[in-house]
Amino acid sequence: MKELDDESEMVQESYHIDVEDLKAHREIDKAYRKLEKDFFEVDEVMQDRTEAFSIVLEKLEAMKAEISAVEASAGEFKNKMKALRKDELTAKETLQKLKKKLFESRRLVRKSNLPGVPRSFVDILEDAEDHLSEVSRRLDKKPLDMSSVQQALDETVTKIENAYDQTKKMVDTAVLAEELIQYGNRYRSDYKDIDQELTRAEEYFRNYDYEAAVETAVQAIERKEPKILKQMGVYADRS
């Protein structure tokens, strides 16, 4: 029991322990004290032979059942304490993976050589960065509240995944816009309306509105090639 008390005290210095778990530990301690008291009483009765052996045997059987129950409760408590350490390590590993994924998002943007990114995208990255910082802050706090850490981590996973998905979507859309504008150049000298539309698409592109650039370029080229997107093998879900 002393080993369990020492472990519990050490864990409480490092982790925030749930109220129910603390209550369970007190119940284990209380049950152990009672067993200790019962043992000395039975031992005294056996030495003095003041009770029939059948009664003593009945008490011993009851104590045996109580010991099994206490050992099971103590084992469950120890497993929960070990789980806290495991959860902390898992959270730290997940945090590192999320940092790498956010770094990869920034790398994709740099590698794409875009003229710039919209403010809305910057906000998404900054929000994801803030969530990473919040998880780090909670992991550094002592005693460590793993419930709070896990909540922040779950939110951060969603933010980082969204940031990565938005990055890929933006880069892919920008690449498509550029390809469409280049493709449409073949019609510019002969068709003034297409030239004007493509000029608008270029303006959108320079202002980092890549979706608008794609839409405008498509509208221009579709004047001559109604199925241009299908021909290029993109936006298969568009009607």
CA dist list (Å): 94 to 21, 89, 113, 156: 26, 9, 30, 10
Q: Which amino acid is at 201?
A: A
Supply the mean pLDDT for the chain. Answer: 82
Distances (CA, A) of 188 to 185, 194, 217: 5, 6, 12
Per-residue pLDDT tens digits for 193-228: 999 999 999 999 999 999 999 999 999 999 998 877
Measured between alpha carbons, how far is 136 from 156 in angstroms, rounded to an integer? 11
Q: What is the pLDDT of residues 126-138, one digit of tens each?
A: 999 999 999 999 9
The residue whose two tokens read 């998905």 is: 165
- Which parts of the chain register pLDDT below 50? 1-4, 6, 235-239
pTM over 0.75: no
Residue 144, strand partner residues? 15
**Domain range summary for the chain, segments of one domain joined by +:** 168-232
